[in-house]
Amino acid sequence: MYICQICKKNPATIHLTDIHNNVKKEVHLCAGCAAEKGFNMQSAASLPQLLGIKAKKQSTEEPRPNRFAPEEDIICPKCGYRWSDFKNKGRLGCSEDYHAFREKLRPLIANQLSATPIGPGPLHRGKYPGKKSSVDPVTREIRNLELDLRRAVDEERYEDAARIKSELRELRGYAGTPAKAADKTELN
Amino acid sequence: MKIDDCLHRDGEWLKGAGPHCAIAVSTRVRLARNLARRRFPTHPDHSDRRKVLDEIKDAFEKTPSGPAFTWYELDGQMPIDRRILMERHLISRELAEGSGPRAVAFDEPESVAVMANEEDHLRMQCLRSGLRLREAFDCVNQLDDDLSGRLAYAFDPVYGYLTSCPTNVGTGLRVSVMLHLPALVMTQHIEKVFRAVYEMRMAVRGFYGEGTEAYGELYQISNQVTCGRTEEDILADMEATIQSVILYEEKARRELAGNAKNRLEDRIWRSWGALKNARLMSSEEAMRHLSSLRLGLVMGMMNKFELRDLQRLFLLSQPAHLQRIKGRELDSDARDAERAEFLRKRLGPEAN
Ligand SMILES: [Zn+2]
Ligand SMILES: [Zn+2]
């Protein structure tokens, strides 16, 4: 089991690999040390960014707090866990911590490197307790066919690819989903 | 329940069946959930733990599938029994080596396992042999739906399902596929795979998950992003990435068979020789040779046994299983001797 390379104590849960001139570098961190380093854990940060070699421009939504300013500790009113405990252990104490520490946790969790940065609203896009999952069978079938198409093209089975494409066209018409730019170019 | 009952059956992931089973050994999908108003198991104050366990047990037994499960509390059990469950991929290392009230519930095919009081209150996983992401997800998702009516989950509309480590928040969904990639290792393309996988924001882990070594050229690829995307997006990304790694390994296998057939056959038959003759065999070496045999088998260069039998040897030559079969504790040297003998017998004269 990898131990966090910074605190040399907690199990690492964030693994980064960078390959440069055929040399593989790995960084393994616990969530606490990643937070300490200002690392956005829901995105793939590059090693230089993580190690602070090159300050990469983050999204413009909020200025980065001055890392060198002495930091105020925060205590969760519900369970007594502190922000410093989190940095120490890489784990939280109770679900209320997400509120108590929200100013610090949110930028860690926000997915800033995606094509569309997530604004101030909800970060969660998945299922809700008690609700059935939202995937309809047509969308699922489209996804499966897209994969089949890719495989057929990779394997140069062009007749199969043409058949899958026409099936896809039909299904997308049914679901009202626009074709992806990617599979337009694939067969050319 | 006696752990020995497990020894006589093959876990779901050992079946050596399912789509792309020549490369994709198994698929695992897990959901992390916590109970509202209870401290996470990672909180230093452990006074909630017993209550959490009882609440989960009670809710779980009332689900439609609950009665078919074995509920097994780990506290006070022998370390070797816990280790057997770990080797069977039913519990994590953290649960095996932890302390305090904690449990696992699993079904007879050893396909679904629910861990209670690991680093989250609930970790539900479904294992399937081969590449079967949707099937595994549907299974664990159904269990989650069944439980969510009976347990109040810690959930927040902004963050989603709240987990003790923020790297799991949101969907709480971790999908991992165990791939056998010997040809990419032999052709030295494996680093390119690591790079591509990393660019897709996924992680590569070893045989027993988080931070373990990739023995036997077995790699687990899993998603790192759990928040900000739907479950379906995460599954679709994983499926696409895994499919392309599989294609890449297939290509490397074709290349080896075309340009380096001698080298390939030499490796396979050398491993056969070692397994049939060695007097000492570490578990790492055993896995390396079994990996060669697996490759030879699925490439049609060897037909001495079924894939399923081979997969079983991967498991039975692990330290805890080996000691259990022998019926006593063995130190590391004795294990290496026992392992060598066990493998020689299993691949015995009738397999020649
Ligand atoms: Zn650390
Ligand atoms: Zn708290």
Query: Under a CB-based contact definition with an 8 Å cutoff, are residues B325 and B291 in contact?
Result: no
pLDDT of A124: 87
Which ligand places an atom closest to the C-alpha of A9? 1
pLDDT score of B160: 93
Which-ligand-closest: CA of B38? 2
User: A92: pLDDT confidence band, cut at 50, 70 and 90?
Assistant: very high
Name the 3-class secondary structure at A75: strand
Which residues are bridge partners to B106 per DSSP? B70, B113
- Contact: A31, B167; criterion CB under 8 Å: yes
Ligand having the closest approach to the CA of A76: 2
In angstroms, what separates the C-alpha of A169 from chain B's closest C-alpha?
19
Interface contact A11-B94, CB threshold 8 A: yes
Ligand 2 centroid to A88 CA: how many Å? 15
Subunit contact A41:B203, Cβ cutoff 8 A: no
A78 C-alpha vs ligand 2 centroid, how far in Å? 5
Chain B residues touching A29 at Cβ < 8 A: none
> Phi and psi at residue B134, in whole multiples of 5°?
-65, -45
Work out the mean pLDDT of chain B and round it to a whole number: 91
The letter for the amino acid at B83 is: R
- Beta-bridge mates of residue A82: A75
Whether residues B39 and A94 touch (CB distance < 8 A) is answered with yes
Residue B111 CA from chain centroid, whole number: 11
Q: Are B197 and B206 in contact (CB under 8 A)?
A: no
Please give, rounded to a whole number of angstroms, the shortest distance from the CA of A68 to a CA of chain B. 24
- Percent of chain B with pLDDT strictly greater than 70: 96
Give the closest of B45, B195, B228 to A19, CB-based. Answer: B195
More confident residue, B292 or A175: B292
In DSSP notation, A117-156 reads ---SS----S--TTSPP---HHHHHHHHHHHHHHHHHHTT
Q: Is the pLDDT of residue A182 over 50?
A: no
- Kindly indicate the confidence band of residue A20, based on its pLDDT and cuts at 50, 70 and 90: low
pLDDT of residue B23: 97
* Predicted pLDDT at A56: 35
Task: Give Cβ neighbours of residue B116 (< 8 Å, ≥ 6 apart).
Answer: B52, B53, B56, B57, B102, B103, B104, B105, B122
**How confident is the model over B3-31, as a mean pLDDT?**
87
Q: Which amino acid belongs to residue B218?
A: L
pLDDT value at residue B236: 94
Q: What is the pLDDT of residues B321-351, one digit of tens each?
A: 999 989 999 999 999 999 999 999 998 765 4
Mean pLDDT for all residues in chain A: 70
pLDDT band, very low/low/confident/very high, at A118 (cuts 50, 70, 90): low
Structure tokens belonging to residue A44: 């793939």
Q: Residue B173 forms beta bridges with which residues?
A: B31
Residue of B nearest to A21 (CA): B191
Searching chain A, which residue's CA lies closest to the CA of residue B134?
A140
Three-state DSSP state, A24: strand
Q: A43-47, A69-73, A77-81, A106-110 — which is least confidently predicted? A: A43-47
A81 phi, psi to nearest 5 deg: -75, 145
**Per-residue pLDDT at A186:** 37
Between the CA of A7 and the centroid of ligand 1 the distance, in Å, is 4
- Among the partner-chain residues B119, B154, B156, the one whose CB lies closest to the CB of A91 is B119
Whole-number pLDDT of residue A135: 57
Res. A68: pLDDT tops 60: no
- HEC letters along chain B: CCCHHHHCCCCHHHCCCCCCCCCEEEEEEEEEECECCCCCCCCCCCCCHHHHHHHHHHHHHCCCCHHHCEEEECCCCCHHHHHHHHHCCCCCHHHHHCCCCCEEEECCCCCEEEEECCCCCEEEEEEEECCCHHHHHHHHHHHHHHHHCCCCECEECCCEECCCCHHHCECCEEEEEEEECHHHHHCCCHHHHHHHHHHCCEEEEECCECCCCCHHHEEEEEECCCCCCCHHHHHHHHHHHHHHHHHHHHHHHHHHHHHCHHHHHHHHHHHHHHHHHCCCCCHHHHHHHHHHHHHHHHCCCCCCCCHHHHHHHHHHCCHHHHHHHHCCCCCHHHHHHHHHHHHHHHCCHHHC
Bridge partners, B27 (sequence order): B128, B177
Nearest chain A residue to B245, by CA: A151
Q: Which amino acid is at B273?
A: G
CA of A85 to the centre of ligand 1 (A): 11
Band of residue A59 on the pLDDT scale cut at 50, 70, 90? very low
What is the nearest CA distance from A22 to chain B, expressed in angstroms?
A: 8
CA A87 / ligand 1 centre spacing (Å): 8
Question: Is the sign of the CA dihedral B91, A105, A124, A111 positive or negative?
Answer: negative
pLDDT tens digits, residue range A97-117? 999 998 888 877 874 334 345
Q: What is the DSSP letter of A14?
A: E
When mean pLDDT is compared across A157-166, B116-125, B338-347, the lowest value belongs to A157-166
Calculate how far, in angstroms, residue B145's C-alpha sits from the geometric centre of ligand 2.
26
Contacts of A110 in chain B (CB under 8 A): 228
Domain B3-254 -> CATH class: alpha beta
Strands B112-116 and B122-129 come out as antiparallel
Distance A11 CA to ligand 1 centre (A): 8
For B150-194, how does the pLDDT look when each residue is reduced to its tens digit (9 = 90+)? 999 999 988 999 999 998 999 999 999 999 999 999 999 988 888
Q: What is the 3-state secondary structure (H, E, C) of B298-331?
A: HCCCCCCCCHHHHHHHHHHCCHHHHHHHHCCCCC
Asked if pLDDT for residue B267 goes beyond 60, the answer is: yes
* 8 Å CB contact between A158 and A174: no
Q: What is the pTM of this model?
A: 0.81
Decide if A95 and B40 are in contact by the 8 Å CB cutoff: yes
What pLDDT is stored for residue A153 in this prediction?
Answer: 85
- The protein residues having their C-beta less than 5 angstroms from ligand 2 (an ion) are A 76, 78-79, 81, 93-94, 96-97
Lowest mean pLDDT among A55-64, B89-98, B208-217: A55-64
Domain ranges of chain B: 3-254, 261-351
User: How high is the pLDDT of residue A40?
Assistant: 59
Residue B212: which of A1, A18, A81 has the nearest Cβ? A1
Chain B: give the shortest CA distance to residue A52, in Å.
Answer: 20
pLDDT of res. A119? 59
Lowest mean pLDDT among B49-63, B245-259, B306-320: B306-320
pLDDT at B33 over 50: yes
Check residue B12 and give its pLDDT. 81
Nearest to B166 among A17, A79, A105 (CB): A105
From B34, which residue of chain A is nearest by alpha-carbon distance?
A95
Report the pLDDT value the prediction gives residue B276, as an integer from 0 to 100: 95
Residue A48 is predicted with a pLDDT of 39
CA distance A21 to chain B (A): 11
Q: How far apart are CA B241 and CA B195, in angstroms?
A: 12
Binned at pLDDT 50, 70 and 90, residue B352 comes out as very low
Decide if B159 and A124 are in contact by the 8 Å CB cutoff: yes
Mean pLDDT of B217-242: 92
- B231 pLDDT more than 60: yes
Burial class (CB in 10 A: 0-12, 13-18, 19+), B257: middle
